[in-house]
Chains A and B, each alone.
Chain A
Amino acid sequence: MIALLRYQAALLARSQRWLPPVILYAAVLGIGVQTGQPVLDSLGYAAAAVLPVAAWLVRICATNEPPAARSCVGAAAGPARAHLACLLVAFGTAALLGVVATVVVTVVSDPASTDHRTPVPVVPAGGAGLLAALACALLGTAVGALTTRPLLRSTGRAVPAMLLAAVLALVVTGSPARVAVSDLVTGSQAGVVPAPVLPLFLAGAVAAAAVAVACALTTRRG
């Protein structure tokens, strides 16, 4: 499995297809987050933006390898394990982005509530932002896994489906990503640091199920 992860990570890193989503994420943060803004608001924004980036990274990883090369790896390691490695690398990259963004945002933001009156402890705020970012990365991985190969193979359908699913995952009531982000926003208004642990677990469960479905279908739908 380590060899597969190393292979998939090298494939992603050397393909340079990771650049557009990373640049987009940096741009979104550059526009939406400014020095001195309330920390929890900015963390919520940074976490929410991880979700579509994670879905995009999954799409990149899943379509990065030419089919013949994928067959060679599939014969050696099993197509399901190969696909699992590719999804894990995409999630790992998205999670890494989320962690870096959370640290930067926590450092540059104002440790206070939305009205700048109640102080907010920096470290717990950063921790809450981290949980929310990971929940969004997990849910984004689920969205990506369900809207690319092997479930949706035509680009014409897969890309709109991915975009729609990513938006829905952020706005639909009850979505772990929405709960985690709105926890941060309401916490900012009240000046209280939330602990979005339950959304993280739910997002983890959803992601595990989505990844299991995608991996199980690799040998059935090519």
Chain B
Amino acid sequence: MNRELLLEGVGRRYGLGGAPWVLRGVDLTLAPGTLTRIEGANGTGKSTLLRLLAGIDAPTEGRITGRPRTAYVPERFPAALPFTAAGYLIHLGSVHGLSRGEAARAAVEWLERLGAAEYARTPMSELSKGSSQKVAVAQALLAEPELLVLDEAWTGLDTAARTELERAVLERRAAGGTVVFVDHDPRRLAGAPDVTYVVAGGNVRTVTGSSVPREEAYVVVEVQGAPGAEPPVEVTRLAVSVEEPGPGRPGPGPGSLRLTVPATHSDTLLRTLLTAHPPWHVVSVGEGPPATRVPPRAPAAAAVDADADAGADVDAEVRS
């Protein structure tokens, strides 16, 4: 498991001596497997904070420890690079530590996911603003970073790519990564962040949530897939238990599964299921018993014996 990214008394000012502090006395903890939203008016130091988190800037005072493998997506990505989109992504993948072969495969995969596969061989200088931004997003995601820093990364993307980036963010969190983002749109990933901070007056204040994922509340999701189909890897990673309803229980039939997942990650799990190929049918979603603490990654046999009837029936309708 990754370590926490820790900011202690961090301050930053540009220029020497008398320059004003952009940020001062910032204490923050970013835990692995969490999604953090940073808010604030223009010019309050959001971008400075993100640059500090990403390691692009060093704090003028205080210290930052525990930064894992990091990737950063800027708001506007310049097209003035003498590479093709795929060529640039292979270079960046190698810088991120992939082999050239791995980087080439990941580049193709991410350009496809973002709907820019046809631009792989196009020189960056000929790309539109939106397509350039897709390349910027792809370079950050292709190496599966442990810390993903997004500075208004959605700017300029088309609707499909925006949704895909949101999905990718949730996948990163599900895989134990730390994700931090700034976005002007308050609906961006609404409800998903584990914690939201506001930057104001040179410091950071908590709006909602905690940087440590809650483990008390669980959700039980019953899903129906093709008989014998394996659930997506992300789903098994998110769920603390995956069980097939026993023969004695009234189940929806072969191919049905009962997943127990921490409430904080239930949206991610549902999205993953509904966007999988082939998709899974969500039969019911219900609360798990709050009293029962389920140890993470429990074997299926030790699963919570939740009452399926407690769940409200839903039919594949998830906020997106």
Contact = CB atoms under 8 A, between A and B. Distances in A.
Interface of A: 3-4, 6-7, 10-11, 14-16, 65-69, 71-79, 219-220, 222
Contacts of A14: 82-83
Contacts of B58: 219-220
Given A68-B136, A71-B54, A75-B55, A10 B91 contact: yes
B94 A71 contact: no
A73 B55 CA distance: 11
B91 A72 contact: no
A200 B91 CA distance: 34
Contacts of A73: 92, 95
Contacts of A7: 91-92, 94-95
B140 interface: yes
A56 B312 CA distance: 69
A63 B55 CA distance: 20
Given A10-B83, A69-B78, A72-B72, A3 B56 contact: no
Contact of A6 (B56, B74, B94): B94
Given A4-B95, A76-B92, A69 B77 contact: yes
Given A4-B95, A10-B91, A76-B71, 12 more contacts: A3-B91, A6-B94, A14-B82, A15-B82, A71-B54, A72-B73, A74-B55, A75-B72, A75-B149, A76-B95, A76-B145, A220-B58
B302 interface: no
Contacts of A76: 69-72, 92, 95-96, 143, 145
Contacts of B136: 68, 72
A165 B205 CA distance: 48
A216 B91 CA distance: 24
A222 B14 contact: yes
A16 B125 CA distance: 15
A71 B14 contact: no
B57 interface: yes
A69 B91 CA distance: 12
Interface string B57-90: 1101000000001111111111011110001000
B172 to A, nearest CB: 15
Contact of B70 (A3, A16, A75): A75
A3 B96 CA distance: 9
Interface in B21-76: 51, 54-58, 60, 69-76
Interface in B262-305: none
Interface string B177-201: 0000000000000000000000000
Contact of B56 (A4, A10, A65, A74): A74
A219 B78 contact: no
A68 B76 contact: yes
13 contacts: A10-B87, A14-B82, A15-B82, A66-B78, A66-B80, A66-B81, A68-B75, A71-B74, A73-B92, A74-B54, A75-B56, A75-B72, A76-B70
Q: Which of A4, A16, A68, A78 has the most CB of B within 10 A?
A: A68
